[in-house]
Every structure is written in structure tokens, then in C-alpha cells.
């Protein structure tokens, strides 16, 4: 048989996040008890008014402008200004089918190299490979909250010949659940070396301290921002994202726009109209409740998992934790996750998918295996919720974490 696949694509495999989701569903179908801590999906329903807006616009069938609806870009521009203090004008924003697609198009268009810090989200490196952009890694540490120091970033830049560089920063972070505290220092280094930054802000509205700082505040001229409805709005399957570029880089957006027009054309029309409601409406109460639940469940998991065998940073945002299992029994973190799944029914992802060496016994744990619609009915006042409430509304998380921590005791 003739080989039909390009070399750079042949190297890739289906994304680990989507694979674990399908594997769990299959095991459940076979009647197995599985604690689904592998896939990262919001458990909460999309706010009713936004669902209503989608219904009311279902009749819209015309293609919309390739860059996306004017009013939606305008709403996102205002949302970003409120969040970050920086003005990304509507002319410099494009609407994409999920922010993942926006990032892919960025890699396809970009002529340069990419700096990632481990941990980094599973898709960044494969996307760079698709775009034929070389990737350079910076390894971070638990002590530094899983983000690179300014010194590490500067050293990495200085070690590279190519001056066209993009560093991808994601805070709150998938997979570590931590928030970057040294944005200003990182921005200073970026500015000094003309390093571009893609600030992946998909979890911005799920920051537990309720105050979000964007690196664009310190480096507006060199920061791209991507975001969308998947996480804060519970609408992962709707596939709506955006990509915003600083004014002086607007010609780069033109390239992305061309790629968009030659691939997906434009995001589906009913969804773009519904997204105006999502960005214009006031969903602060919903966000407050959702964040409060996630913070409480995250803290519950943290408190019940950490031990002398399991090291983990406290949750600061998004819905992940990245525990390290202290042992030398397993050959790789993949093997570790397979054994845990077999022994306990707890599904997680190995940290080797997030840029770590396979020997590092780190995993990503997503604590979203609960019914968010039911949980929102609880009395939530913004304080950390009582364990009793968590036991009632997130029984799978409670049971799964108990199994996992008992398993870890025997390491």
C-alpha cells in the first residue's frame, strides 16, 4: 500500500484528551465503574438565556463574514477590555470554531519557532508540528507553581538563533490548575527580546481568586489572546472561540483570515448570534457560582489526595490538578495511569502528554465528574462549600478520590 500521509502528520496520534473520553465511555458501556478524571469538560449547563438565543437564531442560514459577526467581535472587544484593561479592537479579532482552531491557524500561518513550558496543554506541540514550527521546551517546577521564571525564559530565548518566536502561556493552567504570578517579569523579558506571546485565556473566567491578570496588561503590543465559550459557559461542544491580535500585528490576522476562509469559511450563523448574548449579557452570578463550586471541589480533592506519597499544588483555577505519585515502580506515567485505571477505575492522563519526560510520575486529574446542573441547585454563597455538600453533589469525585488516595497509600 502506498503511504499517503505526510511525514509530519504521520508522527501524530489522535489527541489524548479525546481518546481518554472515548475510552471511558466505552468502559462504562461495558458496565465498568469509571471515575472520569481524564477528559477536561465543564460539567455545567450553558446558561438558559444563551441557549434561548441559540434557539431563537436557529433559522439563520446565511454565511456570515469570514472574520465573524461585527456585533460579536465588538462584544468580545469590550469583554477583553474589561477583563484585561487592553483594547483589542473588533477589527483585530476573528471568530473561530473553538480557540483550538484559531491556534492551529496561527501555527500554519506563522513562520518561526515556538517556546512551550512543561506542563503545556496536549495540543500545542502537535499543532506546532502540523504547522512545521520547531518547538523548544522549558521545564518548570512545583516550587515555581509550574510556570517558567523570567530567567529561564530569557535563557531559552538567548539559546535560540531564530528571532521569530512565540511563547504560549496558559493561566489558569491546564493541566496544573495553577495561576501565573510572575506575568510582569515574563512580559519584561518578552519585550526586551521582541518575543511574541500567545496568552491562552480559555480559563480566565474560572480563576478562583476572582481577579484575573492578563499578560497583555504588561505587554499589549506583543500579546495575542485566544479564548471562547467552551469553559466558562459550559459550551465545549458548541465550538466557539476567538483570536485577538495587537493592532500593530494586524497583517498577521489577515493571513489567519485567509486560512479561515479557505478552510471552515466562517463559524455557523446561529451560534455567532447566540454568542453575542454570552458576551454582552451579565453572567457574573453564574460565573461566581460555577467558580465557587469548582474551587470547593478542587480543594476537597487537594485536601484528600495530598500525602507523603502524593505531592500536589493547591487549585487556583480551571478544573485540574497535577498530582505526583512518589514511587519508582512504574516505567512511565502512561503505565502509572493504566495501572491506576485497572486497579481503581480512576481515569487520568499521564503528564508525558503535557511535555514532561515519561519517567516523571505526574498525572492530570480533572475533577469535573459530577452533574453541574444539579450542583447549581445547592446553596452557594461564594464561600468554600462544606464537605457534606460535596459528598451530596459530587459523589463520583468523592468516591474516586478515596479510591485513588487509598491506592497511593500502598505505593
For ligand GLU, the binding residues (CB under 6 A) are 15, 17-18, 39-40, 100, 174
Binding ligand PMP (rule: CB under 6 A), the pick from 47, 119, 228, 234 is 228
Other CB atoms within 10 A of residue 275 CB: 30
Smallest separation, CB 192 to ligand PMP (Å): 26
Which range touches ligand PMP (CB under 6 A), out of 65-73, 97-105, 252-260, 321-329?
97-105
Sheet of 223-228, strands arranged across: 93-96, 241-244, 223-228, 196-200, 165-170, 113-118, 135-139
Q: Which of 192, 126, 199 is nearest to 163 (CA)?
A: 192
Cβ proximity of 116 and 146 under 8 Å: no
Phi, then psi, of 135 in degrees rounded to 5: -110, 135
Nearer to ligand PMP among residue 116 and residue 190 (C-beta):
116
For ligand PMP, the closer CB: 146 or 330: 146
Q: Which of 252, 247, 5 is nearest to 105 (CA)?
A: 252
What does 73 bind: ligand GLU, ligand PMP, none (CB cut-off 5 to 8 Å by kind)?
Answer: none
Nearer to ligand GLU, 241 or 345 (CB): 241
Using the minimum distance from each CB to ligand PMP, give the nearer residue, 47 or 236.
236
Q: What is the DSSP letter of 314?
A: P
Q: Which is nearer to ligand PMP, 99 or 214 (CB)?
A: 99
Locus of grid cell 499543532: 127
Binder of ligand PMP out of 38, 40, 317, 372 (CB under 6 A)? 40
DSSP count for the chain of H helices, then E strands: 15, 14
Q: What is the DSSP string of 120-177?
A: --TTHHHHHHHTT--EEEEE--TTTTTS--HHHHHHHHHH-S---EEEEEESS-TTT-
> Of 218 and 232, which CB lies nearer to ligand PMP in the complex structure?
232
126 touches ligand PMP by CB under 6 A: no
Query: CA of 77: how far to CAs of 226, 227, 286, 297, 329, in Å?
Result: 12, 12, 21, 32, 51
Min dist CB 282 to ligand PMP, Å, is: 22
| Residue 99 binding: pick among ligand GLU, ligand PMP, none (C-beta 5-8 Å cut-off by kind) | ligand PMP
Smallest gap from residue 142 Cβ to ligand PMP (A): 19
- Least separation in angstroms between residue 399's CB and ligand PMP is 25
Under the binding rule (CB under 6 A), the answer on residue 125 touching ligand PMP is no
Provide, rounded to whole angstroms, the least separation between the CB of residue 355 and ligand GLU: 13
Whole-angstrom distance, CA of residue 133 vs CA of residue 125: 9
State the Cα–Cα distance between residues 126 and 174, nearest whole angstrom: 16
Decide: is 364 part of the binding site for ligand PMP (CB under 6 A): no
Residue 228, by phi and psi: left (phi above 0), alpha (psi -120 to 50) or beta? left
Nearer to ligand PMP among residue 99 and residue 292 (C-beta)? 99
Q: Please list every residue from 165 through 184 that binds ligand PMP, using CB under 6 A.
A: 170, 174
Shortest-Cβ-distance residue relative to ligand GLU: 40
Q: How far apart are CA 365 and CA 385, in angstroms?
A: 20
Residue number, 18 or 28, with CB nearest to ligand GLU: 18
What residues make contact with ligand PMP under the rule CB under 6 A?
40, 98-100, 121, 170, 174, 200, 202, 228, 230, 236, 241
Amino acid at each position: 500500500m502506498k503511504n499517503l500521509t505526510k511525514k509530519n502528520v504521520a508522527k501524530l496520534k489522535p489527541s489524548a484528551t479525546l481518546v481518554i473520553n472515548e475510552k471511558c465511555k466505552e468502559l462504562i458501556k461495558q458496565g465498568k465503574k469509571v471515575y472520569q478524571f481524564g477528559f477536561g469538560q465543564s460539567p455545567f449547563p450553558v446558561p438558559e438565556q444563551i441557549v434561548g438565543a441559540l434557539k431563537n437564531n436557529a433559522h439563520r442560514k446565511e454565511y456570515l463574514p469570514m472574520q465573524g459577526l461585527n456585533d460579536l467581535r465588538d462584544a468580545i472587544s469590550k469583554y477583553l477590555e474589561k477583563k484585561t484593561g487592553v483594547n483589542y479592537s473588533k477589527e483585530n479579532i476573528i471568530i473561530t470554531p473553538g480557540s483550538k482552531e484559531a491556534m492551529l491557524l496561527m501555527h500554519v500561518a506563522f513562520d518561526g519557532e515556538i517556546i512551550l513550558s512543561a506542563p503545556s496543554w496536549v495540543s500545542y506541540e502537535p499543532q506546532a508540528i502540523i504547522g512545521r514550527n520547531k518547538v523548544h521546551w522549558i521545564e518548570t517546577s512545583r516550587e515555581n507553581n509550574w510556570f517558567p521564571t523570567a530567567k529561564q525564559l530569557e535563557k531559552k530565548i538567548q539559546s535560540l538563533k531564530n528571532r521569530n518566536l512565540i511563547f504560549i502561556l496558559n493561566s489558569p493552567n491546564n493541566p496544573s490548575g495553577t495561576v501565573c504570578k510572575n506575568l510582569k517579569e515574563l512580559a519584561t523579558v518578552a519585550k526586551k527580546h521582541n518575543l511574541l506571546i500567545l496568552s491562552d485565556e480559555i480559563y480566565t473566567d474560572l480563576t478562583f481568586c476572582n481577579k484575573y491578570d492578563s499578560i497583555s496588561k504588561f505587554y499589549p503590543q506583543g500579546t495575542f489572546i485566544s479564548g471562547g465559550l467552551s469553559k466558562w459557559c459550559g459550551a465545549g461542544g458548541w465550538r466557539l472561540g476567538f483570536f485577538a491580535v495587537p493592532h500593530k500585528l494586524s497583517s498577521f490576522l489577515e493571513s489567519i483570515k485567509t486560512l479561515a476562509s479557505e478552510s471552515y469559511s466562517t463559524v455557523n450563523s446561529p451560534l455567532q448570534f447566540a454568542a453575542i448574548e454570552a458576551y454582552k449579557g451579565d453572567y457574573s452570578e453564574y460565573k461566581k457560582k460555577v467558580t465557587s463550586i469548582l474551587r470547593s471541589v478542587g480543594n476537597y480533592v487537594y485536601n484528600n489526595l495530598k500525602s507523603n506519597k502524593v505531592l500536589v499544588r493547591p487549585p487556583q483555577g480551571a478544573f485540574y490538578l497535577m498530582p505526583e505519585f512518589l514511587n519508582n515502580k512504574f516505567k512511565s506515567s502512561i503505565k502509572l495511569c493504566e495501572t491506576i485505571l485497572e486497579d481503581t477505575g480512576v481515569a487520568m492522563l499521564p503528564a508525558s502528554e503535557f511535555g514532561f519526560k515519561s519517567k516523571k510520575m505526574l498525572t492530570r486529574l480533572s475533577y469535573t465528574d459530577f452533574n453541574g446542573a444539579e450542583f447549581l441547585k445547592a446553596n452557594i454563597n461564594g464561600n468554600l462549600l462544606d464537605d457534606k455538600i460535596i459528598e451530596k453533589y459530587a459523589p463520583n469525585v468523592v468516591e474516586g478520590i478515596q479510591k485513588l488516595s487509598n491506592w497511593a497509600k500502598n505505593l
